[in-house]
Amino acid sequence: MTDLPTPTPDPHQPHDLAGIGIGPFNLSLAALAHNIPTTHHHPPTTAFYEQRPAFHWHPGLLIEGATLQVPFLADLVTLADPTNPWTFLNYLRSRDRLFPFYFAERFHIQRAEYDAYCRWVTHQLPNLHFNHQIDAIRWNQQHQLFEIDFTQLDPDGEAQALGRTHARNIALGIGTEPHIPEPLRPLTEDENTPVIHSADYLHHRQELLDAEHITIIGSGQSGAEIFLDLLRARPHGHENLHWLTRTQAFAPMEYSKLGLEHFTPDYTHYFHALPEPVRDELIPRQWQLHKGIDTDTITAIHDELYHRTLHGGWPHTTLTPGVSVRTAGRLTNTRIELHLEHTQQNTRTRLTTDAVILATGYCERPLTRLLAGLEPHLHRDASQRPRIDDRFRLVLDPAITGHIYVQNAERHTHGVGAPDLGLAAWRSATILNDLTGTNPYPLPERTAFTTFGLTPRTTPIPTQNSDLTPLTHGN
C-alpha cells in the first residue's frame, strides 16, 4: 500500500460539500448540487465518496416483477426540480422508451428499472468517487475545515492508497444495514448454515430452491415478495414453505391518500417539532405506514395459493402471524431448529427447517465510528442519539462552523419519511438551500391537505442563519 502525501490544508481549495456514501439520497444531492441554476448561485464544489466499486441498489432484492412502493415521480430530482436533466422521464427519453412507458401506464416502476436509472445518473455525474472508504472525520479548528481521511481500494476491495480531502460541509448518506434478530445472529455468522438475510436473497436463490423446507421470518414487503417468488417456483404439492411473523397479521400497508400524507414535508415539520418522548412513542405505532405489505402482493399470494387448490387439497404452506423466535440452533450441517412462541396463545413449539430467510428489515448504520473524532462536539438527546435540527444538520458545538447534514439517519427526529424515496429530492433541496444561503430550489409552503396539530407551521424555514456566510463564486 502506498501512502499518499498528506498536504497541509489549503482554505482556498476545500470542497464546499463532501458526501459520504453514494446511495439514492446522496446521489439525489449530487445531482441537484451539480445542476443548481446559475441565475441563483454558482454551483458548490462537491465530491462524493463510496466504498463500493459501483452503484447498486438492493441487488439481492431485485426480484423479477417487484416494483417500487412509491410512484416514479419519486426519482432523484423531480419533486424539487422537474426540469433537471436527471429525471426518470429524461432517462426513458435517452433510451427511446418514452412511448412504451406511456402506453404501459405504470405509475410504479420495477425496482430493477429504478436501479438502472440511478446507475445511468452515476455514469454522467462528475465528482463521484467509488472504491473510497472513509476512515475518519475531524475538525481542523485553525482552518475551519473538516478533514476527511480515506483509503482508496483496488478492484478487489484491497487497500491501495491513503488520502485526505477537506470540506466546509459534509453530507452523511451511509444508508442502513440488515437487522439480524439476536436469537438468529450466531447462525448467520456460520457460513455453512443456510440462514440469510433477505438483502442477499437473489445471491442464494438457487440453493434455497434446492432446500427441502424453507422458513421465511418477517411479514413486510420483502418477506411477502420472497414468499411469493419461492411459492411460484416450487412444484405443486411440494411447496414446503413456512412463513412466520411477530406481527398479529399479514397486514396491508397503509396506502390511503390521506395516510400517505405522513410522507410529506408538512408532516416531517410537524413531527420534528414534537417533544422527544412523544416522537419515541409515536414511531412504533406507525409501523403499518412502512412495514406492511402492498395489497397487490397480498392479492398475488392469495391468488397463487388458491390456484393450487384447483385439483383438491391444500398447498404445503404454513402462514402464521403472532409468532416470535425465542432461540435457534443447528441440528446437523443442513438442518436448523427454531424454538417458537405464540404470543396470544402463550404456547411454544419447535420447527425444523432446512433454510431460513430473515426478512427482518434494516436499521440505521451507527455514526459512532465515523464521527469518533467529533464525539466531544456532538449534542445528544436523552437516549444518546445525535440531535438533528430542522434542516437535517447534526447539532454541534458552536466552535464548529461547518455543517454535517444527514440523510436517512434521522427517523427519531423527522419521522417515518426519513427512509422514503419520495422525500429524497425535497430533503436534498432543503440541504442545498441551507448550504448556499440562497434559495436555488424554491420549496412549497404547503404539501398536505391534512393539518397536523392545532398550531401548524405557517412560514417556510429560513434559508440561512444570521451567522451563515452564503457560498459565492470564488469562496
What is the predicted pLDDT for the residue at 473? 41
Return all residues near 455 (Cβ < 8 A) that are at least 6 apart: none
Residue-wise pLDDT for 402-454, tens only, equals: 999 999 999 999 999 999 999 999 999 999 999 999 899 999 999 999 999 99
- The yes-or-no verdict on residue 293 having pLDDT over 80 is yes
Among 127, 17, 49, 118, which Cα is nearest to 433's? 17
pLDDT at 297 exceeding the cut of 50? yes
Q: What is the pLDDT of residue 156?
A: 86
pLDDT band at 332 (very low <50, low <70, confident <90, very high): confident
* 420 vs 42: CA distance, rounded Å: 29
228 vs 233: CA distance, rounded Å: 9
Q: How confident is the model at residue 192 (pLDDT cuts 50, 70, 90)?
A: confident
Q: Which of 217, 172, 225 is nearest to 195 (CA)?
A: 217
Residue 392 scores a pLDDT above 50: yes
Q: How confident is the model at residue 230 (pLDDT cuts 50, 70, 90)?
A: very high
Q: CA 215 to CA 68: how far, in whole Å? A: 25
Tens digit of pLDDT for each residue in 26-83? 999 999 999 887 655 578 999 999 999 999 999 999 999 999 999 999 999 999 999 9
User: Residue 193 has what pLDDT?
Assistant: 81
Q: What is the pLDDT of residue 191?
A: 77
pTM over 0.85: yes
> Cα angle vertex 134, ends 129, 139, to 5°?
115
Percentage of the chain exceeding pLDDT 70: 92
Q: How confident is the model at residue 457 (pLDDT cuts 50, 70, 90)?
A: low
Query: Residue 469: which pLDDT band, with cuts at 50, 70 and 90?
Result: very low
Region of residue 202 (left: phi > 0; alpha: psi -120 to 50; beta: else): alpha
* Range name among 120-134, 136-150, 179-193, 373-387 with the lowest pLDDT average: 179-193
